[in-house]
Structure 1
Amino acid sequence: MIVVIASFAIMLSYADWDSREKEAQRVAERVTTRTVSEVEYYHRESTQLAQSLVENQARIEGIYKYFSLSTPDYFYWQLERKTSPYISVSLYENIDDLYVRNDFVTGVAIVLQDYKEVYVSTREKRSGEKIPAEDFKPTANSFAIPVSDPVSDKDLGVIYISLSPDVLHGAIDNTRGHIPMAVTVTSPFETEMFHIGEKVSAERENWFVGVTSHGYQVRVAVPKNFVLTGTLTSSAVIIGLSILFIIILYVTLRQTFSNYQKQVVDLVDSIEVIAQGEEGLRIDTSEKDQELLLIAETTNDMLDRLEKNIHDIYQLELSQKDANMRALQAQINPHFMYNTLEFLRMYAVMQSQDELADIIYEFSSLLRNNISDERETTLKQELEFCRKYSYLCMVRYPKSIAYGFKIAPELEEMRIPKFTLQPLVENYFAHGVDHRRTDNVISIKALKGQGFVEILVEDNGRGMPAEKLASLQEKLAQRSFEHEASYSGERQSIGIVNVHERFVLYFGDRYQISVESAEQEGVRYHITIQDE
C-alpha cells in the first residue's frame, strides 16, 4: 500500500510538471502570436505616420527647406509659403501633430539622401535639431521606414519612428497571465528592438519564434526554473499529504486489523466450545462488524434451526406414539381378537345376518388399522379409514346420520401423517351430533387447486361457543409447541390440536388450517397444503 501511495504521489508530481510545461508552452505560443500581431500593427501605424510626413509636395518641400535653410530663414520661408489653413508646410507643426495624435511615438528621425545632416526629434524636444549624419545612431526601438515622392516615386530617404518600450507590455501581460516570459523583438538587421521580461540564456531555453511580414522576428521563452520551481512546490505538498495519508492509513489499518483479529479469535473460540457439546451457547454478535457479524448471525441462525429441528423430530415421535396409544393397548393378543371377530362375522353370515356381518368386518378393519405401526398413509387410505369409522357410528343411528367423502383422483396417493383426519370425524360423532335431528351430516372433500391441496371437513352439528372457538383458533395459530420431556398419560392423545401439531411437524410452513363455527351451525375445518 505504501508503494502504491508513493507511486501515486510520483505520478501526480509528474502529471503536475507535465501540465505546467504544456500550459507554459501554450501561453508562450499565444504570447508569440499576440506579439507578432502587435509588432505588425505598430509597424503599419509607423509606416502610415512616416508616409503622412511626405504625403504631398508641400510637405516634401517643407522638409527639404528645413535641411537647406538656416533656422531664421526657414521660419521666414514658412511665413511666406503658408497659403492654406489645411496644408501645413512646417516640419515643426507636422512633427508636433504626430506626437499629439500618437502616444506610442517617442521619437522621429529623418534621413534624406545626399544630405550630410539628420533631423532628430524626441517627445521631450519636439522641435528637434539637425545633427551630423556620422553622429546619428537610430534608437533600438525604432522602425526604419523608407519614403518616396508620391508623384515621381523617387526615393527620398528613411524616416525612423521610435516607439515607447512600454507599447508591448500591456498586450504581453494580458496574455501571459502569471507565467513569467522573456520576449525579444529583433529587426530585419538583427538588432534587438525590444526585450521584455527576464534575461534568459538563448542556448538553454526553448524559444518560440514568430516572424512578421516585414522580417521582424519575435522570440518568446518561459524560464525553465519557473516550471521546475512550481513543480517542486506542488510536489512537496503532494509528498507531505502522501506521508500524512500513509501515517493515517497505517494507524487506521493497524487498529482495524487488531479489532478484526480479536473478533476472529472470539468467533473461532465460540465455535470450538459449541463443537465440544455446548449446544445452547451462541456467538456474541454485539462486537462483530460487517462480514464477521454476518457469519456470526448466520451461524447462530443455523444452530437455532438445528435445535428446532431436533425438537420437532422429538415432538413428532411423541405425537406418533400418542396416536398409536389405543392401538398399543389393544395389542395384548391381536391375533386372538382378529380370529374371534372373524368367527363372529362368519357365524352372522351363516345365520343370514348380513348387516351384522358387515358391521363386524368394518370394525375388524378399523381395529387392524389402529394397531398398525405405520406412521404415514395415503390420503385415500385415511379417508377410507374415516368412512369405516363413520359407518360404524351411523349403524347406531341409521335414520339420523349421513356422511360423504370425496377425493380428487390425483390426490389418492398423496402421503400424510396417519390419524390426522379421523380425529376430526371422531370429534364430530362424540360431540357434534344432535340426536334430536334427523339430518345430521359430515363431509370431507379433498380437492386440487392451483399450486395447493385443499381439504374441507364440514358438519352441521351443534357447533361450539364463541369462547371455545376463540381458544381453539388461538391454539391452531401456534407453529411451535412445548411438551414435557416425559410422556404424560393425562394428556389427550387424539384431538384437534394433536392433528394440527402433526400436520405442522410433517409439512412445516406449507400447511395452514382455519376453523369456523357457531352454536347449532356446525363446524368447518379448512386445511391447505402448498405444493413443494
Structure 2
Amino acid sequence: MKKKNVFMYLLKWYAVILIVGITIFGAFVSYFIYERDQKNAQTAANQSAGHVADIISGKNSKLELITRDLLSNQAKVDSMHRFFEMNSEDYLNYSLHAEASTEYNYLPLRLREIYYGDETVQSIAISLVDEKQVLYSNLANKNGYLVDTVPQEENGVRLQKNLLNPATLEKMGDFYLTLRSKEFKETLSTYGEDLPVSLYILTEQGNLVFDYQMDSKDESKEVLEAELPKGTSKALETLHKDYFVKHVTLSNGYQVVTLISNHNVWFSMQNSLIFLWVGVILLDSLLIWALYKIFSKYNRQVKGILYSVEDVSNGKLHARIDESSKEGELYAISHGVNAMLDSINQYIKDIYELEIAQKDANMRALQSQINPHFYIIR
C-alpha cells in the first residue's frame, strides 16, 4: 500500500483552509458593500427629494407674500386691472397720479423688484378672470407685456397661486412664478455625485411640470408618462421595480419624485466587488505560493535526513546528515542523529577492538599451552 505524501497532504489542507477562510471573508465584505450601496442609493434619493421639496416650499411661501402684497388693497387691484386695459403711456400717467394719493403701485416696477429679490426667478405671468390677455414677464423683458396665453416654459419649474380680491376673497386670477432649473440641477449634482439621480415634479393632479435626468440613458421618464394616466400611486409602484424611489408631497399639492436606477447601483457595486475579488484571488495565490515555498524547503530538509539515514542503513556507516542546510528543530534532529551515528560507530569500533584483543589473548593463552609440548618432544 502506497504511503501518503505528508507534505502534499498538509499543503492541500492548509490551502483549502486559507481559500475557504479568505473566500468567506470576501463574501462578508461583498454583503457589506451591497448593503452600503443600497443604503447610499436610498439616502441620496431621500436627501435630493427633501432638498428640492425645501426649495419649492420656500419659493411657495415667498409666492404667497408676493401675491398678498400685489392685491393688499382695492387701489392695487384697480392698478392691476388698469395695466391690462391701458397702453403703457396711459398706465404710467395713471400710476404717477396714484402716487400722489400714496397708493402708488406701478406694476412693472413691482415685477422688476421680484427679479432683483430672487435671482432664481425665470419668468412671471398674471392672468385675470375677466381679461382675455395675459401679462407675461421674463428676464429679457422684466417690465412685462401682454400675450394671448401663458407661454410654456420648457426649462423651469412653474409655481401657481390664486389671486384673491381682498374685499370679496373671490378668485380674480392666477399668478405664475417660474423658477430656473439651475438650482434643482445643482442639488441633484450634489447628491448624485456617485449615483445619477432623476428628478420629476408633478402637480396635485399628476401633471408633469419638470423633469431632469443626470443619466442620459435613463428611461424612467417614458415609464412615468406611460403610467401616470393610471394614477401617481400606480406609476410609483411600477418605478419601484427598477428604481430607488422617494416621493414627497408638498403643502401646495406639488409632488417631488427622485429616482436612482438599480442598474446604476449594481454597476457601481460591481466596480468595488471586482477590486475585492481580484484582491481575494491574488491573496489566495500569494499565500498558497508562500506555503508551497515554506513546505518545499522544509520537505527538502526532511528528505535530506531520510536519505542520510537510508545510506547508513545500507551500510554506509560514515554517511552523515549535512547540518549546514538544516534550520530550527531539523538542525537539532540532524545534529542528534549525527551524534548518535558517531556514538554507534564508536561503539562498534570499541566492540571490534575488544573482540580483537580478546582473540589475541586467547591465542597467546593457547600458544603458551602448546609451547611446553614442543619442548618435551625435543
Structure 1 residue 19 displacement after superposition: 2.6
Code of the residue aligned with 1:82 in structure 2: it is E
Alpha-carbon distance in structure 2 between the residues aligned to 1:221 and 1:295? 71
Distance 1:171 1:55, change over 3 A: farther
- Is contact 1:50-1:161 (8 Å) kept? no
Q: 1:151 & 1:65 partners in 2: Cα distance?
A: 18
SS at 2:119 equivalent: coil
User: What is the deviation of 1:10?
Assistant: 5.5
Letter in 2 for 1:164: R
In 2 relative to 1, CA 109–268 (structure 1 residues): closer, same or farther, beyond 3 Å? same
1:124 aligns with 2:143: no
Match of 1:208 among 234, 242, 246: 246
Partner of residue 288 from structure 1, selected from 326, 330, 333: 326
1:48 maps to what in 2?
A: 65
Match of 1:263 in 2: 301
Q: Distance in 2 between matches of 1:51 and 1:285?
A: 102
Instruction: Return the letter of the residue paired with 1:136.
Output: V
Deviation at 1:186, TM superposition (A): 1.4
**Post-superposition offset of 1:94:** 0.9
2:98–2:104 contact (8 Å) kept in structure 1: no
Q: Whole-Å Cα distance in 2 between the matches of residues 301 and 53 of structure 1? A: 111
Matched to 1:200, the amino acid is: E
Q: Which residue of 2 aligns with 1:149?
A: 165
Instruction: Provide, for residues 326-367 of structure 1, a one-character-per-residue CA deviation record: whole Å limited to 9, x for no partner.
Output: xxxxxxxxxxxxxxxxxxxxxxxxxxxxxxxxxxxxxxxxxx
**TM-score, normalised via structure 2 length:** 0.68
For residue 55 of structure 1, report the CA deviation from its aligned partner. Answer: 2.5
| Matches of 2:323 and 2:72, distance apart in 1 | 102
Q: Does 1:99 align with 2:137?
A: no
Cα distance in 1 for partners of 2:65, 2:329 equals 85
Label 1:75 to 1:286 Cα distance change in 2 as closer, same or farther (>3 A): same
> Which residue in 2 is equivalent to 1:369?
none
Task: Report the aligned-residue RMSD.
Answer: 3.7
Change in 2 beyond 3 A, CA 1:116/1:291: farther
| Cα offset, 1:145, TM superposition | 0.7
**Residues 229/175 of structure 1: CA separation in 2 closer, same or farther (3 Å cut):** closer
1:32/1:248 CA distance change after superposition, 3 Å: same
Per chain length, whose mean CA-contact separation is higher, i.e. which structure has more relative contact order (CA < 8 Å, sep 6+)?
2
Alignment of 1:10-21 (within 5 A): 12-21=29-38
Report the secondary structure of 2:135's partner residue: strand
With over 3 angstroms needed to count, the CA separation of the structure-2 counterparts of 1:113 and 1:16, relative to structure 1, is: same
Q: Is 1:73 aligned to residue 87 of structure 2?
A: no
Matched residue, 1:509? none
> Which residue identity is paired with 1:47?
E
| Cα shift at 1:274 | 7.2
Q: Contact 2:195–2:265 at 8 Å: present in 1 too? A: no
- Which of 171, 176, 191 is the aligned partner of 2:187? 171
Equivalent-residue separation in structure 2 for 1:251 and 1:35 (angstroms): 55
Give the superposition deviation at 1:189.
2.8
Secondary structure of 1:110 counterpart: strand
Alignment of 1:81-480 (within 5 A): 81-83=98-100, 88-132=104-148, 135-137=149-151, 139=153, 141-196=157-212, 197-198=214-215, 199-201=218-220, 202=223, 203=239, 204-270=242-308, 284-290=322-328, 292-293=330-331, 295-296=333-334, 299=336
Q: Give 1:95 deviation, angstroms.
A: 0.9
Q: Secondary structure at the match of 1:145?
A: strand
Aligned residue type for 1:179: L
- Native 8 Å contact 1:200 1:223 kept in 2: no
Amino acid paired to 2:100: T
Aligned-pair identity in percent equals: 21
Note the residue ranges of structure 2 that are not aligned, 5 or more in a row.
1-14, 224-238, 348-378
Tell me the residue number matched to 1:392: none
SS at structure 1 position matched to 2:324: coil
Deviation, 1:278, is 9.5
CA distance 1:286–1:72, change in 2 (3 Å):
same
Question: Matches of 1:167 and 1:200 in 2, distance apart?
Answer: 23
- Which residue is equivalent to 2:12? none
2:54 is matched with: 37
| Aligned-partner residue type, residue 105 of structure 1 | V
For the residue of structure 2 that corresponds to 1:209, the secondary structure is strand
Tell me if the contact between 1:209 and 1:217 (Cα under 8 Å) persists in the aligned partners: yes
**Can you give the 5+ residue segments of structure 1 that lack an aligned partner in the other structure?**
312-532
Q: TM-score, normalised by structure 1?
A: 0.50
Q: SS where residue 251 of structure 2 aligns? A: coil
Q: How many angstroms apart in 1 are the aligned matches of 2:326 and 2:219? A: 66
Change (3 A) 1:22 1:268: same
How many residue pairs match? The answer is 308
- Which deviations, in whole Å up to 9, do the C-alpha atoms of 1:202-224 show, x marking residues without a partner? 44323221222222211111123
Aligned to 1:365: none
How far 1:91 sits from its partner (Å)? Answer: 1.0
Match for 1:185: what amino acid? I
CA separation in 2, counterparts of 1:254 and 1:228?
A: 38
Q: Quick check: 1:149–1:156 contact (8 Å CA) kept in 2?
A: yes
For residues 103 and 266 of structure 1, do their structure 2 counterparts lie closer, same or farther at Cα, with a shift above 3 Å needed?
A: same
- CA deviations on 1:189-246 (whole Å, 9 max, x unpaired) are 3222332323432443232212222222111111233222223333333343344444
